[in-house]
Amino acid sequence: MNTEDSQLQTASVPLALETELRLAKMRRQLVGIYDQLDIACEEIDVCAEAANSLGQKNMEKVLRASVGYRLSAQRKALTGVIERLGGATNLSELDEVSQETALRSGVG
C-alpha cells in the first residue's frame, strides 16, 4: 500500500464516524419528537373521555377522529424514518408483536 492509499483510508474514517454521529443525533431528536407526539395522543384520549363523560359526544368524535387520527398518522410516518435510521419506537414493537402473532396463527 502506498502513502496516498494510506492517507485516503485515514481521511475516510473520520468522515464515516462524523456521519454516523450525525445520524445518531438525528435519530435521538426524532425519537424525542415522537415521544412528544405520543404524549399528545394520550392527552387527546383523556380529553375525549372527559368530553364523553360530560355528554359532549360531538367533541369526543372530533378529538378522536380528526386530531387523534392525524397525530397517529404522523407517529407512524415518524416511526418509519426512525426505523430507517436504525432506531425503534413503541409502534415498532407493536408491529413486531402483530407480525409474530400473525405468524403463530398462520395468517400472512
Q: Which residue has the cell 368524535?
A: 61
Model's pTM, two decimal places?
Answer: 0.68
- Pick the more confident residue, 36 or 98: 36
CA distance 85 to 71: 21
pLDDT over threshold 90, residue 99: no
CA distance 81 to 85: 6
Residue 14 main-chain phi, psi, to 5 deg: -60, -35
Q: What is the CA radius of gyration of the chain?
A: 22
| Domain locations in the chain as residue ranges | 3-105
- pLDDT digits over 40-82, tens only? 999 999 999 999 999 998 999 888 888 888 999 999 999 999 9
CB 40 within 8 A of CB 73: no
CA distance 45 to 42: 5
CA distance 24 to 86: 9
Residue 14: pLDDT band (50, 70, 90) is confident
